[in-house]
């Protein structure tokens, strides 16, 4: 029974992701999401009482996946630059391999659905990243920039590199990722 519940919820989240990135939040109805997921509309409301709850639930799900991907295989005993670079590579690879999810995060962050509560809940998933940024600030690796600015520059720059790789002429993907890292590294650090 639990598997069936998880399958329905996953189907609803996937259908919502597909439709929101294609038609937008306002252009997508809960009936369309239910139909795409192959469940009754009433079933959707069993999992997500409102459309806003569904949108936020999807955001939490996607950001959780991104968080796990960013920290994957990071050697937290290595140098600060190596940890920062590994998270960069992980973020870019995740964006390239999960383009719909990546677009959804951007779409959500520019929407009226994001609230301070949403931000706070999601940031709990990224303690490792905040700790790394604070390590860079405390150890003098970064220039005299606010933590939030560093985090935003890192993420927004990753979006630029993902788009560059996806929409440019054939190129050396790893070189583009490394060049992007060097640009962000030189821009944020004191070196």
Would you say residue 83 has pLDDT above 60? Answer: yes
Other CB atoms within a 10 A radius of the CB of residue 138 amount to 9
Please state, in angstroms and rounded to a whole number, the distance separating the CA atoms of residues 6 and 153: 36
Task: List own/partner pairs for 111-114 with CB under 8 A and 24 or more apart.
Answer: 111/25, 111/55, 113/25, 113/52, 113/55, 113/56, 113/59, 114/59
- Of the chain, the percentage scoring pLDDT greater than 90 comes to 79
Which of 53, 158, 157 is CA-nearest to residue 99? 158
Tell me what the mean pLDDT of segment 41-65 comes to. Answer: 93
Compute the residue count for the chain: 191
| pLDDT tens profile 132-175 | 999 999 999 998 899 999 999 999 999 999 999 999 887 899 99
Task: Enumerate residues 6+ apart whose C-beta is below 8 A from 143.
Answer: 188, 189, 190
Which domains does the chain show, CATH number per domain? 1-49 (1.10.10.60), 51-188 (1.10.357.10)
Which of 95, 51, 53, 100 is CA-nearest to residue 70? 95
> Terminal CA-to-CA distance of the chain, rounded, Å?
57
Residue for token pair 């959500």 = 108
**pTM: predicted TM-score of the whole model, two decimal places:** 0.88
């Amino acid at each position: 029974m639990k598997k069936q519940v998880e399958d329905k919820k996953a189907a609803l989240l996937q259908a919502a992701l597909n439709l929101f990135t294609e038609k937008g939040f306002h252009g997508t109805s809960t009936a369309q999401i239910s139909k795409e997921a192959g469940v009754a509309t009433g079933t959707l409301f069993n999992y997500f009482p409102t459309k806003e709850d569904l949108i936020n639930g999807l955001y939490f799900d996607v950001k959780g996946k991104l968080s796990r991907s960013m920290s994957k295989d990071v050697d937290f005993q290595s140098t600060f630059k190596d940890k920062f670079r590994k998270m960069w590579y992980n973020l870019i690879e995740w964006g390239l391999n999960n383009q719909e999810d990546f677009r959804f995060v951007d779409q959500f962050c520019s929407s009226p659905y994001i609230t301070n509560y949403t931000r706070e809940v999601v940031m709990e998933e990224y303690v490792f990243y905040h700790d790394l940024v604070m390590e860079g600030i405390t150890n003098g690796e970064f220039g005299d920039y606010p933590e939030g600015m560093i985090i935003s520059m890192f993420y927004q720059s990753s979006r630029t590199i993902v788009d560059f790789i996806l929409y440019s002429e054939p190129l050396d993907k790893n070189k583009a990722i490394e060049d992007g890292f060097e640009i962000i590294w030189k821009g944020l650090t004191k070196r």
